[in-house]
Amino acid sequence: MTSIAGCSTAVREASGRLSEQCLGRFPCLADRATRSSLCLKLILVLLHVTMVGALFLLDGELSRRIRDYRWYAAIYLVLFLATLVQYFFTSCSSPGYVIDAMIIGSETHTNSSSFNQRQTPSRHGNVSSASQMNSSSWLRQVMELYPPGFSSRSWTCGYCHIIQPPRSKHCHDCDKCVLQFDHHCAWLGTCIGKGNHCRFWWYVFEETILCIWTGTLYINLFISKVMKEWWKDFIAVILLVILVFCLIFLILLLFFHSYLALTNQTTHEIMRRRRILYLRYEKNHLFSTGKLQERFIHLVKGFVETCFPSAALVTAFTHWKLYRPWKNWKPEQNHTHAVILFLVGVVDT
């Protein structure tokens, strides 16, 4: 018994030293949230490789068909790689944080103020500090976007202690306030917001097409007349069932976020509509222009536009200044709102 206890102690000490060395070489792994995010990403990549690799192991005729139809295999391979690239591209993208928008807005205001001061010198000199100017300019910019009658205290984040623009929310997973917050995606390890919602839609779209195509290949495996061992059919059935569940989830997610894109809404606004003061008394979609063609064009162009994070942050303010939905805002009585609950339930909020 003593020898067994000594061996277990030695193993624990060795594993502890190994983990310390790993954390020393990779400091990012010291955070538990980062480790869980990396594990989920690894699981997702392994799931893709398993689903596609099992086709070649279970279907012996697939290699011959690939040689006959190389263009077919090339398109499938491009889609497979594009989906993985889009996944990592989206997971590494910024959703657009309020603090970054605050810095950009303050720098813009500082540059314009310094230019005006050079043109018209002040009689009293520069008595206020740059930080005070930045905070006051930010407060002025944000409060212009809200309906009249509200104070800045109503929109101050209790965690970041900064004034939140409309449609923003503090994410407890990222510990930051996100512009046009939609949800925090655990599989991507990041929030979905103003800066990457279009990228997220394109990733879900590509993933859905890849899932449908892979499911078709599995169905062809079953209907083929080639004799196979029973264990191959058993493994193929299990993988096909997993694929069907993933496909159902992806289709619902794609339709739901297409609906959000065309109506200019977010998951958070639908789920928490009654708790958001400026949405509580509105009957219709407050931020929708009502033109589906414009929303679709914006969805397509957004994939390119959001490649530049600063442009996405600036757009968060220029769009609001051009289009303020509550110019004649008046509180009304409560109204019932039709919410698509069966779609909202499957979104990973």
The residues annotated as belonging to the active site are: 185
Which residue reads 């010198």 in tokens? 121
In angstroms, the CA 240 to CA 219 distance is 8
In angstroms, the CA 307 to CA 305 distance is 5
Q: How far is CA 245 from CA 83, 212, 215, 240, in A?
A: 18, 12, 11, 9
In angstroms, the CA 159 to CA 173 distance is 12
Q: Is the dihedral of CA 238, 242, 245, 247 positive or negative?
A: negative
Cross-strand pairs, 178: 97, 169
163 and 138 Cβ atoms separated by less than 8 Å? yes
Q: How far is CA 266 from CA 257, 261, 337, 342, in A?
A: 8, 8, 15, 16
247 and 213 Cβ atoms separated by less than 8 Å? no
In angstroms, the CA 155 to CA 209 distance is 41
Which residue reads 């030695």 in tokens? 10
In angstroms, the CA 219 to CA 214 distance is 9
Q: How far is CA 155 from CA 88, 269, 290, 313, in A?
A: 33, 15, 27, 19
Which one, of 194, 166, 184, lies nearest residue 308 by Cα? 194
Q: How far is CA 247 from CA 17, 211, 342, in A?
A: 43, 6, 16
In angstroms, the CA 293 to CA 288 distance is 12
